[in-house]
Amino acid sequence: MRAIVIYNNAEMVSAVKPQVAPIIHDATEFLRLLAIASFGLAKSGRRGRFRQASAPGESPAIQSGNLFRKLITSYPNQLTGELLADTPYARILEEELNRPFIKPAIEKLIDRFNAGQLGSFA
């Protein structure tokens, strides 16, 4: 899921950058935290031997912890924040196996914006 809005008026960009850049940074970090918080608890059958996968529609169960440790934020410029799930199986879990963790985090972030909590991500 990706939305891109480009407005290249230099005067406008320079006017809004000081106010918007901190909000973009905070929102991107908050999105990462929401994604981490959505993970299911570690599930195991018998102690130490078997692990139980999450059910379809649930966020992924924690198996190794690698997936949420590999959620990386970056900022290509002051008005762009990116969240990367840097594992080969993140997209498979999210889209093919219906174990969502990024989409629910994005929905919660959008709800927060819509509720007028813009910039209050602590």
Confidence of residue 43 (pLDDT cuts 50, 70, 90): low
Domain ranges across the chain: 19-114
Residue 9's pLDDT is: 73
pLDDT at 41 over 70: no
Helix H, strand E, coil C: the string for the chain is: CCCCCCCCCHHHHHHHHHHHHHHHHHHHHHHHHHHHHCCECCCECCCCCCECCCCCCCCCECCCCHHHHCEEEEEEECCEEEEEECCCCHHHHHHHCCCCCHHHHHHHHHHHHHCCCCCCCC
Mean pLDDT for 94-101 is 91
pTM over 0.85: no
Mean predicted lDDT score pLDDT of the chain = 81
